[in-house]
Amino acid sequence: MNSISQPKIATITEDKDWWRGAIIYQIYPRSFQDSNGDGIGDLAGIIERLPYIASLGVDAIWISPFFTSPMLDFGYDVSDYRGVDPMFGTLEEFDRLVEAAHQLGLKVMIDLVLSHSSDEHEWFKKSRKDKDNPYCDYYVWADAKQDGTPPNNWLSIFGGSAWEWDTQRQQYYLHNFLKSQPDLNFYNNKVQQELLDIAQFWLEKNVDGFRLDTINFYFHDEKLRDNPALEPELRNTSIAPKVNPYNYQNHIYDKNRPENISFLQKIRSLMDQYGATAAVGEVGDAQNGIEIMGQYTAGNDLIHMCYAFEFLSSDPFSASHIIDVLEQYDEKAKSGYACWAFSNHDVVRHASRWNLDERGEKLAISLLLSLNGSISIYQGEELGLSEAEIKKEDLQDPYGIEFWPEFKGRDGCRTPMVWDDNHPNAGFSNGKPWLPIAKEHLEKAVSNQQNNKVSLLNHYKVMIDFRKNHLALSKGELQLIDSEKDIVLFTRTFENEEIICAFNLGDAPVKIPLPKGKWQALKGLNFDARLEGSIAHLASKQAFFAQKLIN
């Protein structure tokens, strides 16, 4: 175990609850900004673009993995948790990034991939040697059945069995993702301590928190029981594409295990020693995502916030779906804390998934920024980037390569940022980008939107500022109000401030009677909506906000 210095002591002026209601901007480093012309984004590039992120008004950045890795899953296969992969830079550059972000008032959260490592990690190289060495049970090993087949029926999200035969050790090892991503054995306390030491290493480097990858995959069933089949009508494709038989199982034994709670408490206990830190966990589950989110964030001794895939799935952008998710959250996770997002690096960009025009995108972000909980924005969504079409020969994602052409993978949401359409490769790189830049993205470059007051980019800035200036929106309770088809209606309340938020997702104008009381319309948000007496008039795909007046 590594010896690490005593944790820093939080100062009185630090806000330990900064994450409540915060807006987090996700950076996919390969595609954000390249500083050295190799076609791959890097830490120096992020430093260069930090003023842009700060100009949006967000509170924090989440940086997807930049650790040493063979990059078979683009950094989510870590071979050295304490190192920066040379393609992204150095530890010294990371230190400069943190310092520069803090000077701009931005918190820094990094992506910790703890459920599995790369098969090139030293732990796995030692573990696979034999069944009797200090690392022999750092990973999940099991004997074959008598007929030589895998220990059970568990499936990999990336296709095929979740078990891979290792000829050196003469056993199967578990991998919930690629076969080059063996699962760590959390029943081994030494493994848990190794991972906590890694978290402490980065906390000592002044990070403000973590995004915890696949947080519900940490533990598996020790008895290795088969997952039961899932009835066809219950199959949900929010986690795996329709063509993947992973959807055919009820994953009660390969993830979501109750033993997970004790490890989450250990992470929280460590983080609490470092003052104003926070973690957001990724809950990957198609049946019980919101319920698990509630379990993992309840109270003050677990994870601060989690996100599930209900708003990242292929379900439509409809009033009924949004209301259903919010009602589920109120019922199953009321004592927890959500981090809501419409896009990230794993799903089709919501502009394409929901077939939104610019008016629809403005409505969507206005709704998202009105929800209770914290908010995550994925790079490029503020520009209205659509899902890029990637030719088969340009594919990089192993997930897409496995299931092409029925599922094209995640490359389409990972193409480079478009900064300036007058520069080569839209200002992203002087070299050939690792993924092609979509031609249709060029007109949406930052340079074309930043000086246009009614652009989507500036609408994001306006709505972020609006949320931060009204504590009812960032900190308050949310109360749904019964409404007609195509309308989402709720109030947000904090102390003496109450705001009503109305959203018309339909194609026809609507009239919405407001609850009893005196209301004053909040203006300056570029929506075609008005208040006449106690009736709010909203055009199609428009939002309306009003503040209750106190007598």
CB atoms within 10 A of CB 37: 10
Catalytic annotation present for 137: no
């259903």: which residue's tokens? 324
d(CA 485, CA 469) in angstroms, rounded, equals 30
Return d(Cα 210, Cα 341) in angstroms, integer: 16
Residues in a beta bridge with 501: 490, 545
Active-site pick, 77, 213, 382, 411: 213
In this structure, what token pair is assigned to residue 384? 């209205």
Going by DSSP bridges, is the β-strand pair 107-112/209-212 parallel, antiparallel, or unpaired? parallel
Cα–Cα distance, 272 to 345 (Å, whole number): 29
CA torsion sign, 445 to 539 to 351 to 374? positive
Round to the nearest angstrom and report the end-to-end CA distance of the chain. 63
Burial degree of 321 (CB within 10 A; 0-12, 13-18, 19+): middle
Q: Identify whether 222 is a catalytic site residue.
A: no
Angle at CA of residue 48, ends 47 and 51, nearest 5°: 90
Cβ contacts of residue 458 below 8 Å, gap of 6+? 449, 450, 452
> CA 241, 245, 246 angle in degrees (round to 5)?
75
Which one is catalytic: 73, 164, 282, 291? 282
Helices (H), 57-203: 91-103, 122-127, 189-203
Contact of 169 with 130, CB cutoff 8 Å = yes
Cβ-based burial of 323 (10 A; exposed 0-12, middle 13-18, buried ≥19): middle
Annotated catalytic residues are 213, 282
